[in-house]
Amino acid sequence: MPVLKFEMTHRDPGSSARRGTIYTDHGIVETPIFMPVGTVGSVKAVSQQQLQHDVQAEIILGNTYHLYLRPGTEVLEAAGGLHRFMGWNKPILTDSGGYQVFSLAANRKLTEEGALFQSHIDGSKHLFTAENVMDIQRSIGADIIMAFDECPPYPSDYGYAKKSMELTHRWVDRCIARLDDTPDLYGYTQNLFPIVQGSTFPDLRKASCDYISSRGAAGNAIGGLSVGEPESMMYELTALCCENLPVEKPRYLMGVGTPWNILENIALGIDMFDCVMPTRNGRNGMLFTSQGVINIDNKKWEKDFSPIDEGIGSGISAYYSKAYLRHLVKSKEILGLTIASVHNLAFYLWLVREARAHIVAGDYFSWKNEMIPLLKTRL
């Protein structure tokens, strides 16, 4: 079977930023890319129509933990996979569920075998293993499936971080073996991305990169960052990982981050991002715009009838005014959650499209340094 192909077309002369294309059986993804998070088969408050036309998403993420608990693999298999279940025909990536087990589930217990936990919904007991997490992701039918890993908390001591990394490495091999033994379920290829761990320790990160690289996967991910460590530490570790992961494979930095985090990490060689920040912060009235950050709750927007953000390619961001969105948010109207979420995601997708154009133009580094103070401005 053909596997996911990555074609790198441009490299920025002033940084390690790259411009590429990922080919999947559900179409292409231009990189650098941001992936909206569709937790339980829905990008929160956003319709698939808005996702396609306003956000202009190219690939979305699903959470294995959530989808396994609800609607469950039986329903997803009966539907013919998540793409058909939710009506999303473009690529999907699923995480491995490990992160959610340790952030959401109750009474979790880590063993060599896997992670025991109780559902946050009904308290029922479940076991995630390297093997069954591959089976679940087969049932979901994502184009890119993530290896089962443990994400150590920040800070972790060296001994714990090393043991955790080694466990993640053993799990990677079990994931690969399981996928080799099981077929794609829906007639298209599913591609495994293993995950680099190693907490905040450069030697562990390098060792993990070496091990993960040696697995020869179609793409590689960096996990365990943006979990509370200082930004400068995240950038140093990302840079180290990018230097030690294959240049010809896409690199995915998991769970990152702010608009400026994304621009900085693109400069370090990252191709793929996901984060709940645009939707979660949007639901709390925080808007990222091409002019800076807006707290829409603020009275200064009460009579500002200018569009939320024009020129980012989102009809919804150009259609509704700041004053109207503020009114919806103050009145706790559901449409306010939708507009804010659609806008923030559209802004993130606009930002990576801009980044691509500047990599192609060869001025990414200077553009990024001009943009970051602007994006951080509190309006």
> Could you give the 3-state DSSP secondary structure of residue 82?
helix
Q: Is the peptide bond before 257 cis (omega within 30 degrees of 0)?
A: yes
**Of positions 35, 37, 225, 339, contacts a copy of itself by CB under 8 A:** 339
297 is in an annotated binding site: no
Q: CB count, 10 Å around CB of 44?
A: 17
SS3 45: coil
CA distance 84 to 339: 25
> Can residue 320 be called a binding residue for a copy of itself (CB under 8 A)?
yes
Please give the backbone phi and psi of residue 58, each rounded to the nearest 5 degrees, phi first.
Answer: -105, -25
Shortest Å distance, C-beta 294 to a copy of itself:
17
Report, in Å, the least distance between residue 330 CB and a copy of itself.
7
Whether 210 sits among the annotated catalytic residues: the reply is no
Matching residue, tokens 């503020």: 326
Find the binding residues for a copy of itself in span 87-116 (CB under 8 A): 87
Nearest-approach distance from CB 210 to a copy of itself, in angstroms: 40
Is 143 labeled as ligand-binding? Answer: no
Q: By the 8 A CB rule, do 17 and 359 touch?
A: yes
Which of 54, 143, 274, 309 is labelled catalytic? 274
Residue 105 is encoded by which pair of tokens? 């589930």
| Least distance (Å) between residue 296 CB and a copy of itself | 13
Give, as one character, the DSSP assignment of residue 297: T
Interface with a copy of itself includes 323 (CB under 8 A)? yes
The minimum distance between CB 39 and a copy of itself, in angstroms, equals: 8
φ, ψ at 29 (rounded to 5°): -130, 125
User: Is residue 217 within 8 Å of 248, Cβ to Cβ?
Assistant: no
SS3 28: strand
Sheet strands side by side (includes 18-24): 5-11, 18-24, 27-31
274 is catalytic: yes
Asked if residue 228 belongs to a known ligand binding site, the reply is no
Catalytic residue of the set 12, 95, 143, 304 = 95
Rounded distance, CA 173 to CA 265, Å? 28
Q: Which stretch binds a copy of itself (CB under 8 A): 26-34, 63-71, 163-171, 363-371?
A: 63-71
Q: Is 269 a known ligand-binding residue? A: no
**Could you tell me whether strands 18-24 and 5-11 are parallel, antiparallel, or unpaired per DSSP bridges?**
antiparallel
> Does the protein bind a copy of itself through residue 70 (CB under 8 A)?
yes
DSSP 8-class letter at 93: E
Pattern 33-62, a copy of itself, x by CB under 8 A: -------xxx-xxxxxxx------------
| 357's tokens | 């154009």
Binding window for a copy of itself (CB under 8 A); candidates: 4-12, 123-131, 176-184, 316-324: 316-324
Does 334 participate in binding a copy of itself (rule CB under 8 A)?
yes
Query: 274-303 mask for a copy of itself (x: CB under 8 A)?
Result: ----------------------------xx
Catalytic site residues?
Answer: 95, 274
Task: Give the residues lining the site for a copy of itself (CB under 8 A).
Answer: 40-42, 44-50, 66, 70-71, 75, 78-79, 84-87, 302-303, 305, 315-316, 319-321, 323-324, 327-328, 330-331, 333-339
Annotated binding site for substrate: 95-99, 149, 197, 224
